[in-house]
Amino acid sequence: MLRKIVAACVVLACAAGALRAQDLRSGPYELPYKNTYVKEVFVAENEYRTMKPERIEPRPFSEARRILPAPFWEGHEREVEMYWHAWKIAVGNIRQPQEGSGFVSPYLDIAYNGNIFMWDASFMMMFARYGYRFFPFQRTLDNFYAHQHPDGFICREIRADGSDCFERYDPTSTGPDLLPWTELMYFRQFGDTERLHKVFPALCGYARWWRLNRTWPDGTYWSSGWGTGMDNMPRVPEGCNPIFSNGRMTWLDACLQQMLVNESLLRIGFHIERWQEIEEVEDENRFLRQYVNEKMWDEAEGFLFDRYADGTLGTAKGIYAYWALQTDVLDRGRLDRLVAHLRDTAEFARPHRVPSLAADHRKYNVRGRYWQGGVWPGATSWGGPDCRPSPYSSSTSSA
Model confidence pLDDT, tens digit, residues 4-31: 444 444 434 443 443 333 334 334 556 6
Q: What is the pTM of this model?
A: 0.89
Architecture in CATH of 36-398 = Alpha/alpha barrel (1.50)
Residue 104 in contact with residue 146, Cβ under 8 Å? yes
| Rounded Cα–Cα distance for residues 40 and 153 (Å) | 10
Produce one character per residue of 162-192: b if its CB has 16 or more CB atoms within 10 Å, e if not: bebbbebeebbbbbbbbbbbbbbbbbeeeee
Domain ranges of the chain: 36-398
Model confidence pLDDT, tens digit, residues 277-334: 999 999 999 999 999 999 999 999 999 999 999 999 999 999 999 999 999 999 999 9
| Rounded Cα–Cα distance for residues 62 and 290 (Å) | 53
Residue 252 in contact with residue 305, Cβ under 8 Å? yes
Residue 283 in contact with residue 289, Cβ under 8 Å? no
Q: In DSSP terms, which residues pair with 70 in a beta bridge?
A: none
- Rounded to whole angstroms, what are the CA distances from 330 to 303, 359, 363, 386, 390? 11, 24, 28, 20, 12
Amino acid code (one letter) for 179:
L
Model confidence pLDDT, tens digit, residues 188-245: 999 999 999 999 999 999 999 999 999 999 999 999 999 999 999 999 999 999 999 9
Mapped onto helix, strand or coil, the DSSP state of residue 307 is strand
Residue 33's pLDDT band, with cuts at 50, 70 and 90, is confident
**pLDDT at position 392:** 55
Q: In DSSP terms, which residues pair with 107 in a beta bridge?
A: 95
Model confidence pLDDT, tens digit, residues 253-280: 999 999 999 999 999 999 999 999 999 9
Q: What's the angle, vertex CA 184, arms to CA 181 and CA 185, rounded to 5? A: 85
| Rounded Cα–Cα distance for residues 151 and 214 (Å) | 13
